[in-house]
Structure 1
Amino acid sequence: MRQQKSCASLATVFVSTNRYSKIKTICLPVATNSDIELINYASIALKEMYREGYWYKKSGVIVTEIVPENQIQLAILDTVDRCKHTKLMQVSGWAS
């Protein structure tokens, strides 16, 4: 997404075993392409779905509601340091 200069507003996390599947969709407060934020929200969803004792065979995260990064709607109560996230993604080699 960063190479395309895009951000996602929704993240859908899924896990499945041989017998059941669980899906959780999270509406992000602010559209993002930050790995830090996406992993954080995916982890929250996974913690809600995970059940001890099951053997999971599939899992994944799908991001949707893609918007250009220059058109994201910021939130008044947003506390994320987006400049810091951008710098971290560049240092880690994940940003274009």
Structure 2
Amino acid sequence: MFSINAKGFKASADRLRRIERQMPFATALALTRTAQLAKEAIEQDMRAVFDRPTRWTLNSLRLIPARKDRLEARVWMKNESDKAAPATRWLSPQVEG
């Protein structure tokens, strides 16, 4: 004879719903932390590749964190400058070759 017992099913279903609600936040957090690690690695490479890089060069990377509603984190070069040339002018040849 075969018997099925559903004891504790409601509690398990509630836990799964809580996990489902937290999943977008956890994913956004993981993406942002991964992008932060990538940014740090790129900054380390910049210190190794360039001869005496300036703070302007080292701070030329921008991190846009992921959000629950936009699961995408970005690391890219800032292209804004006041009077000086944008960082992409001298960093792009190094990146793109």
State the TM-score, normalizing by the size of structure 1.
Answer: 0.26
Hey, which of these two has a bigger chunk of helix by percent?
2
State the TM-score, normalizing by the size of structure 2.
Answer: 0.26
Hey, which of these two has a bigger chunk of strand by percent?
1
